[in-house]
Structure 1
Amino acid sequence: MASSGQSATKLEKLTIEAYDNPQFSGTTDKKYELQINPKEIHHSYEQLGQQPALLATGKVITDVKPNEYAERMSFEFIVDATGVVEGCDDVYTDIQNLTMLTAEVNGQIHTPNYLKIRWGKKLNFTGTLAQMKISYMTFAPDGSPVRAKVVMGLNGFVDAAKKASNDNNSSPDLTHIIEVKDGDQLPVLCRQIYGSSKYYLAVAKLNKLSSIFDMQPGQRLIFPPLDK
């Protein structure tokens, strides 16, 4: 019980925010607030190991980056329409709204939304959906789900220009090597790295892409230094 003159601490709900840009800039009204906060959040880092790098001279070397990691986050939560907890009238509709926000392609950017996970003042994770598993657990007599468990996993996201800057900050003679993320577009990557999208055909040719759309998540693309 709060002491006299003190207000009770406000319960903060974990919120999933959706953005239409990899800089997560501007405000968004696309949000999903968890009805029941998760009991656990798993935050992990996977070492990427050695990467090939290209010198301006054309020589390929092995660039050892022992401190480079891929960041992951996962958590599970309950959606409940049994009436025990307020905030959900229909589980199936709630899950559809969540799927539309996190997994379905946003027609304006031709890729699923970029996601920001917020919980109070401490947790602020930016990423993209890696996987989502939905388990319907309890059903009404007519077969409608009234309780579901959602397991969500996200890949940490760093915009290509910032990553390239970090990777090459101390090695100006090295090209940028970018790992393709789901939804990346070659002209956009070129604009982020070079300040202009006009180099996308040259980059596609260098990387032996059959077209500018011939990119797969996890693929590494070489962006060579511009001729001075």
Structure 2
Amino acid sequence: MALTKLSIIAYSNSSYRKGARVGKFQVLINPESYKRDVEIDYNKTWAVGSPGGDLRFKKMNAEKISFNLIFDGTGLVSTAPQSLKEGDNIKPVIQQIKEFKAIVAKFNGKIHRPNFLLLTWGNAFNFRGVLTNMSINYKLFKPDGTPIRATVDVTFSSSVSPALALAEAKKTSPDLTHIKQVRAGDRLPAMSNEVYDDPAYFVQVAQANNLNHLRGVAPGKKLVFPPLCNK
């Protein structure tokens, strides 16, 4: 299986539609690790002299993701993406970082701000946001002072359009129609509970799919879970 590289795709708006794509950067070496931070703000409502109290929800802050990238020009890396090559050779570190900054940190005059970014790595990693911090550390040099290796610490904060955020928040809402594929061992009450947070709606689901029985629904069959107005 070919090695999948972390990709950073730049967009001119926070809806991340294909037509708004303005560029892409693939890393030379995948991160060794990454960290995701989630912060939630609450208002304290403790009365004076009380031993404790209720924390009332205020807002969800932007999720942050941070990791370290390696830019290398020593020639020791044999799995460079084609975009980082000049012929058979890897581009100089200075050029690699210049192209990286052009995607993640350059001011885009058309939108009067830096680009919106989609970070993808295989099927398990997907993050949309903007660069909020970058620190470059040059580590190895040629005799003339030209850097041949650098590490870059980056932090991205989530950023999506209000319409996209609302659509994603409603993905699991019981007031929308859902289509689920039956897996081996699935039972209608349990599937109903996943969608509606209540197993009792399996009867309505059975009616919507013209099921005459509640057991033994064949794996692979797709069932419609309709919106429930009284949910």
User: Over alpha carbons, which structure has the higher Rg?
Assistant: 2
| Structure-1 separation of matches of 2:119 and 2:93 | 21
Aligned partner letter, 1:38:
P
Aligned partner letter, 1:151:
D
Match of residue 103 from structure 2:
101
Q: Give runs of aligned pairs for residues 69-218 of structure 1, distance below 5 A.
A: 69-86=61-78, 87=80, 88-163=90-165
Shift of 1:66: 6.0
| Structure-2 separation of matches of 1:122 and 1:81 | 29
Selected match of 2:15 from 19, 23, 40: 23
Match of residue 223 from structure 1:
none
| Structure-2 separation of matches of 1:163 and 1:65 | 19
Aligned partner letter, 1:134:
I
CA contact (8 A) 1:49 1:68 kept: no
Aligned partner letter, 2:108:
N
Percentage of matched positions with identical amino acids: 34
* Structure 1 runs of 4+ with >6 Å offset: none
Shift of 1:77: 1.4
1:63-107 CA distance string (max 9 Å, x none): 943673420100101110001014332001111111111111111
- Figure out how many residues of one structure are paired with residues of the other and give that number: 148
1:107-141 CA distance string (max 9 Å, x none): 11111000011000111100000101110000011
State the TM-score, normalizing by the size of structure 1: 0.59
Match of residue 169 from structure 1:
none
Shift of 1:49: 2.5
CA contact (8 A) 2:115 2:130 kept: yes
Shift of 1:152: 0.7
CA contact (8 A) 1:32 1:98 kept: yes
Alignment RMSD (CA, Å): 2.5
CA contact (8 A) 2:15 2:164 kept: no
Match of residue 40 from structure 1:
33
Aligned partner letter, 1:46:
E
Which segments of 5 or more consecutive residues in structure 1 lack a partner in the other structure? Answer: 1-8, 52-62, 167-228
Change over 3 Å in CA distance of 1:121–1:164 after alignment to 2: closer
Shift of 1:50: 4.0
